[in-house]
């Protein structure tokens, strides 16, 4: 039996699925553009969301197309991974349901950036990132400040590529190069930073 690796890519403008053989040769490829929704609950015109259910359908349809084009069995796929736009996030409630899904261009956090005023040296020391409304830290603060009903339901914070892997295998995991773009991760200690969250009044 031949062996293949599948890679999903949730890019800013489209979803992609690639199938490689074990030598690294691209065997099959599928692509489909997708769109974002303006979030009218925010006064920031750059507040954006995406329909998680629609994105799931697109990604899974690309998977089926790639397998069909290659003429292989799903059993021959021995490894699956995912990449995604940096800063894009999906949050789940305690039942594993998506309650927030947004691309890297969701800038609602700018409205909560005042809470981080004066804390930039501390934040940068832990995360390696400057204060910005695009990162997960400011987005969480926005929801706590402006939409507490959603904030109170947050159980799991994931980057988009983490979410794709969760859909495929049911495991809630990340790895440092992905987690570090959330501004919730201690890049020196290699773990999520409870210290940072507590310092800005977010629950851990």
Map out the domains of the chain as residue ranges: 4-199
Contact partners, residue 95, CB within 8 Å, separation at least 6? none
Residue 16: closest CA among 47, 79, 61: 61
Q: Helix (H, G, I), strand (E, B), or coil: what is residue 35?
A: coil
pLDDT of residue 166: 95
Q: Helix (H, G, I), strand (E, B), or coil: what is residue 124?
A: helix
pLDDT digit string, tens, across residues 29-72: 999 999 999 998 888 888 999 999 999 999 999 999 999 999 99
Q: Digits of tens for pLDDT over the chain (204 positions)?
A: 899 999 999 999 999 999 999 999 999 999 999 999 999 888 888 899 999 999 999 999 999 999 999 999 999 999 999 999 989 999 999 999 999 999 999 999 998 887 888 899 999 999 999 999 999 999 999 999 999 999 999 999 999 999 999 999 999 999 899 999 999 999 999 999 999 999 999 988
Q: Report the mean per-residue pLDDT for the chain.
A: 94
Residue 148, both tokens:
């507490």
d(Cα 9, Cα 12) in Å, to the nearest integer?
A: 9
d(Cα 92, Cα 195) in Å, to the nearest integer?
A: 22
CA angle 177/179/184 to nearest 5° reads: 135
With 0-12 / 13-18 / 19 or more C-beta atoms within 10 angstroms meaning exposed / middle / buried, residue 5 is middle
Residue 61, CA distances (Å) to 12, 66, 76, 168 in order = 18, 9, 18, 13
The pTM of this model reads: 0.92
Which one of 3.30.1360.120, 3.30.420.40, 3.60.60.10, 3.30.70.920 gives the CATH number of domain 4-199?
A: 3.30.420.40
């Amino acid at each position: 039996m031949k062996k293949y690796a599948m890679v999903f890519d949730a890019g800013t403008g489209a979803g992609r699925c690639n199938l490689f053989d074990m030598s690294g040769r691209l065997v099959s490829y599928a692509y489909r553009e997708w769109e974002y929704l303006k979030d009218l609950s925010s006064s920031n015109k750059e507040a954006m969301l995406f329909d998680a259910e629609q994105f799931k359908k697109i990604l899974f349809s690309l998977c089926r197309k790639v397998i069909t084009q290659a003429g292989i069995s799903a059993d021959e796929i021995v490894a699956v991974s995912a990449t995604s736009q940096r800063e894009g996030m999906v949050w789940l409630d305690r039942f594993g349901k998506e309650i927030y899904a947004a691309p890297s261009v969701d800038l609602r956090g700018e409205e909560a950036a005042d809470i981080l005023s004066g804390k930039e040296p501390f934040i940068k020391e832990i995360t390696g990132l400057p204060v910005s409304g695009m990162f997960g830290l400011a987005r969480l603060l926005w929801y706590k400040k402006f939409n507490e009903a959603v904030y109170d339901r947050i159980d799991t914070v994931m980057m988009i590529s983490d979410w794709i892997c969760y859909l495929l295998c049911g495991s809630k995991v990340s790895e440092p190069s992905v987690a570090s773009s959330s501004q919730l991760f201690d890049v020196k200690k290699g773990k999520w930073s409870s210290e940072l969250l507590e310092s800005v009044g977010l629950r851990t």
